[in-house]
Structures are given as structure tokens and as C-alpha cells.
Amino acid sequence: MKFIHTADIHLGKSFAFLGEKGSLLRNGQMETLKKITDLTKSEPIDFMIIAGDLFESNEVSSRLIKKAVDILKSIDPIPVLISPGTHDLLDDKSVYWRKEFQGPNIKVFGVDGKVIKVKDAAIHGRPNDTKQGGVHPLKELKPDITAKFNIAVIHASVEIEGKSNPDDYLVNTKEIAASGMDYIALGHWHRMSDFSTKGITAWYSGSPEVTKFDEADKAGHILLVNLGEKTEVEPKKVGHYEWLKKTLDVAISTPGDLLNSEIEKLCGENVLLRLQLKGILPQGHDIDADLLEEDFADNFFCFSVNTSKVGYPVKKVDQLFAEGTIGDLYVKRLKELIKQAKSKEEKEQLKKALYLGASYISKELEVE
């Protein structure tokens, strides 16, 4: 038995920071949903699971709902089984109660029952129906002993100190191990990850299309799950856009040809690049972030440059502060310490403190 596991598509997300380009990303999300359903034409798929947050909210437009439903209906008679998540939870105003959300092959846990059978499998879903935290949905699901395969679908955080939130729906490794399920389809965390425990296979598929920079390393996939004597989980890349965060040291990649060359290596019409520049600016060089963004605007879907961690060279530090100010006293003291340094390593550390400290005092640099 083979099925698709996906989650956290977030159709209708605004991407407000991109302005007018946000609509292109929203269209890209819909294209990615179509790409996922197209896999059923090349793979022998028995059903498809969406483990929460198909939509960004319950206030999405009727037009958006119709587009999504048309895509899901296009693979009929292959069932699409959906569990409401935290963004599209199954409350009184849920998108899943609306008349637009109807399809012969579309089933929603909580609307069409808590157990849906497909061939030899019993698929159990516990929809998110409240914003109240501390709910443990997996504990509520019990395997069907008459079914060959039992699958749980939940939208929750794995209970890890410092990583999970008490206000989330929660699941822990003990619950996974004791579930009696053959597979647990997890949603909510946008990075693909494996939480299989003591013979019970449990995965987050991650978002099939990246929605923010911090999740880009493990998002952009769906999972093809094959249940048999041995459970096999195969990630498939489906994401359209590439979100990159890159840090370059201006002391090495000096502004000009060297820096431009490093940026050119990352170019792409579907690439969103957030570039952080750091380090001490070499003598005779300067950086204009606005000009850099303008020069490369046509080479990326989105490109931004942050120069807040770039420090000034020695001669410029001398010119930053008026005589007798805190900044002036700081520069003079650090220069004394640099002269007194007993090793090359100590001198380099003190120079870095001079440049970065002086830049911070002048409010030209943010230091973490």
C-alpha cells in the first residue's frame, strides 16, 4: 500500500514582506499542490494525506477554495484525506464546513468521521478543533484490529523541552511507541523530520513549498510512504522556490568583483536570497546595500542585503567620534591595548573589538 503524506501547505499565505510579488508565491503554492497530485499519475498511489494547515486560515476566499478543490478532485477516485490543523482548525467557522469545499474523493477528519478506511488500511485522524493547548491527539486514537494497516494523522508538536510550546497540540515519543500504529503522519513542523520510535514509523513531511527562510533547509518535499512487510519512506522534492540565507565576510569577499562573483553563484529566477555581510571593511572599499540590491534585482526572485555586522577599518574609526566623547575614549583605550598585546591572536581579537565596538557606539552597527 502506497500513499502520499504532505502537510502545512498554507494556501493563501500573504507573504506581505514581498509586496506585489507575494501573489507570485501564492500562485506557486497552488502549482506545488498540483505537482503533488500529478505524482499520482506516475506512482501507484492508493490515497493522499494532508496532515493539517492546507489553508493559511479559515478566512480564505471562495475563489481560492475552488482552485484547491478542483486540483484535489482531479485525482478522483484516489481519496484525499485531510486533517484540520492550527491555521484551518475545525471550529464553527472552519473552511471545511463551507459549501465550496466539496469533492467526491475528499474526506475531512471530524467532518466525515474519525476513521476512514481505504482498502486494507484504517486511517485515524484527530482534527485540531480548538486553540486550547496541551491536547494530546494521538492518545485518543486506537488501532483497528481488523485492518491490515493502521495510520494516524495528527497536527501537533513533538514534546521537546525548549522546542515545543505548552499551548500546542502535543505528542511525545512514549505515545508514538505505544500507539500501535503502522505509520504516524505528522503535521505542524515545517521541516521534514523523522520521529520514528521503537518500531513505529512517524514522520513530519514538512511544508512542500517553503514559507520562510528559517525552514528552508528541510522543507520543499512530500513523503511517499510504502506500507508492507517493511515501511519505506521516500522524500520527493516538489518545492518551486529556493530560500537562501548566506553570510559573506567582506574582508575575504571584498566589495567589487569578488563580492559580486560570490553573489552571482547564487543567482536564480526562483531564488530568494537574504545576504548578511560581516567583518571589517578593507581600506579603500565601501558598501552601498541599496545599490547592491538594485544591481542584482533582476537576477533573483527576491534579494536583500544586511550590512549591520560590517565594521570600519582603523582610519575610519579615528574619524567617528568627537574629542572627549565616550566613543573617542573607547577607541583610544582599545588602541593602547592593541599596542600592549602579547600575541598576534590577542592583537587580532582586540582589533575586532575596536572596529565592532566603535561601530556599535556610533550606531552604525548592531552587535548581537
The rounded distance, in Å, linking the Cα atoms of 145 and 304 is 55
pLDDT tier, 195 (very low <50, low <70, confident <90, very high otherwise): very high
Q: Helix-strand-coil percent breakdown of the chain, rounded to 5?
A: 30, 25, 45
The pLDDT score that the predictor gives to residue 363 is 62
Mean pLDDT within 335-350:
90
Task: Return the exposure string of 119-148: e unless at least 16 CB atoms fall within 10 Å of the residue's CB, then b.
Answer: eebbbbbbbbbeeeeebebbbebebeeebe
Please state the domain extents for the chain: 2-237, 241-311, 312-368
Between the alpha carbon of residue 95 and those of residues 56, 78, 105, 314, 316, the distances in Å are: 10, 22, 17, 60, 59
pLDDT tier, 30 (very low <50, low <70, confident <90, very high otherwise): very high
pLDDT at 28 over 50: yes
The pLDDT score that the predictor gives to residue 344 is 87
The pLDDT score that the predictor gives to residue 281 is 82
pLDDT at 316 over 80: no
pLDDT at 303 over 50: yes
The rounded distance, in Å, linking the Cα atoms of 207 and 222 is 8
pLDDT tier, 318 (very low <50, low <70, confident <90, very high otherwise): confident
Mean pLDDT within 26-47:
95
Listed range (150-154, 209-213, 219-223, 346-350) with the worst mean pLDDT: 346-350
The rounded distance, in Å, linking the Cα atoms of 79 and 116 is 10
Q: What are the tens digits of pLDDT across the range 98-110?
A: 999 999 999 999 9
The rounded distance, in Å, linking the Cα atoms of 29 and 33 is 6
Mean pLDDT of the chain: 92
pLDDT tier, 283 (very low <50, low <70, confident <90, very high otherwise): confident
The pLDDT score that the predictor gives to residue 275 is 97
pLDDT at 368 over 50: no
The proportion of the chain whose per-residue pLDDT surpasses 70, expressed as a percent, equals: 97
Q: What are the tens digits of pLDDT across the range 111-151?
A: 999 999 999 999 999 999 998 888 999 999 999 999 999 99
pLDDT at 178 over 70: yes
Strand partners, 14: none
Grid cell 578593507 in the structure block, residue: 282
Amino acid at position 299, single letter: N
Burial class of residue 335, CB neighbours in 10 A (0-12, 13-18, 19+): middle
Closest CA to 196 of 230, 147, 162, 239: 230
pLDDT at 360 over 90: no
Whether 76 and 105 have beta carbons less than 8 Å apart is answered as yes
Mean pLDDT within 35-45:
93
Grid cell 506557486 in the structure block, residue: 28
Mean pLDDT within 340-352:
88
CATH number of 2-237: 3.60.21.10
Task: Return the exposure string of 252-277: e unless at least 16 CB atoms fall within 10 Å of the residue's CB, then b.
Answer: ebbbeeebeeebeebeeeebbbbbeb
* 105 CB neighbour count, 10 Å cutoff: 16
The rounded distance, in Å, linking the Cα atoms of 178 and 195 is 13
Q: What does pTM read for this prediction?
A: 0.84
Amino acid at position 90, single letter: L
Across 82-91, 161-170, 325-334, the highest mean pLDDT is recorded for 82-91
